[in-house]
Amino acid sequence: MTTRAKPVAASVAPAATTSASPMRLSYLIGQLDRIVSRRLSEALAEHGLTLPQFTALSVLNARGRSSNAQLAERSFITPQSANEVVKTMEANGWVMREPDPNNKRIVLLQLTAAGKTMLRRCDEMADRVERTMLDTIDDADARALRALLQSCVKSLRAS
């Protein structure tokens, strides 16, 4: 038997709609994605970094060494786009390449000290964007929102 989770931030008024039915959740998630992406892109530009580069640096930091294909998949970009992102990051000294010890045809990418420094600076910018986004949500609801979103991701990946 499946139980429904309690609504997050029940004290927050529902979004206004033009019809009697509430806005689709998928629409709200898409709208949030576009706003967060725009805000992050603007903040990261101050450091000369793009959102795909920031995502790639974050993935490498979290996962350690990764191939270009793994990086592309985990960064939500095409392998061709990942090639361009990696070229720029390598030229800036943020990543380095090394052969995979198990398969000499695969090149693994990893963060350099400069890449970790850049990521720390940009994480601060991302933290500010997230704090602004969650400004009207208390800590317990923010934790619940994170858990609910992770559950949504898990469900869709499993289907």
The string of DSSP codes covering 74-106 is HHTS-HHHHHHHHHHHHHTTSEEEEEETTEEEE
122 vs 57, 115, 127, CA distance in Å? 10, 10, 9
Domain residue limits, the chain = 37-158
Residue 108 backbone dihedrals phi, psi, to 5 degrees? -100, 145
Q: Does domain 37-158 have CATH number 1.10.10.10?
A: yes
Q: Given the DSSP bridges, would you call strands 103-111 and 95-100 parallel, antiparallel or unpaired?
A: antiparallel
CA dist., res. 142 & res. 104, Å (int): 44
**Residue 149 bridge partners (DSSP):** none
pTM over 0.75: yes
Q: Write out the chain's pLDDT in tens, 159 residues.
A: 444 444 444 444 455 545 568 899 999 999 999 999 999 999 999 999 999 999 999 999 999 899 999 999 999 999 999 999 999 999 999 999 999 888 888 889 999 999 999 999 999 999 999 999 999 999 999 999 999 999 999 999 999
